[in-house]
Amino acid sequence: MSHDVRAAMSELFAAERRLRGRDPHRPGELSAAQVRALFQLERGEACTAGELAKRADLSPASMTAMLDQLEQTGMVERRRSDRDRRQVIVSLTDAGHETLAVKRAKIEQRTAEVLAPYSDEELDAAVRVMRSLAELLDSLGR
């Protein structure tokens, strides 16, 4: 059984790496990294690019380039902090909120389709297993 869990975990990590590496196929479509950053920005309050990079697990340089693109497309706006003029604060625009709402609806629909065959008990067990594996991964770097 342990071998099957390790194999499934490897498959999951590989799928996540592929998702991170995908670029948009159509002009105007957001990349997986952009969506992840926008979801992180939506979950918290407006923040600096550095804080957002940490939340989205991206390098500060990648985040700056990404924010340039997202600002050009109207998804985010940057402004000087009222408290510390050296800091630039990033926030979602109305268009950014709308785009994320559409993206979230698609993700939720697809998730519901994929998980529909499983019982509540199976899903509860999956949640416990995933949280245990997350704890395992976090403990490996200590």
Dihedral sign, CA of 110, 18, 142, 48?
Answer: negative
Q: What is the pTM of this model?
A: 0.74
Within 8 A by CB and 6+ apart from 48, the residues are: 81, 87, 88, 89, 90
Instruction: Report all structural domains of the chain as residue ranges with CATH numbers, in order of start.
Output: 2-140 (1.10.10.10)
Helix (H) or strand (E) holding 89: strand 88-92
| Residue 90, pLDDT score | 92
> Over the chain (142 residues), what is each successive 10-residue block's mean pLDDT?
84 83 67 87 85 88 91 92 84 93 94 96 94 88 73
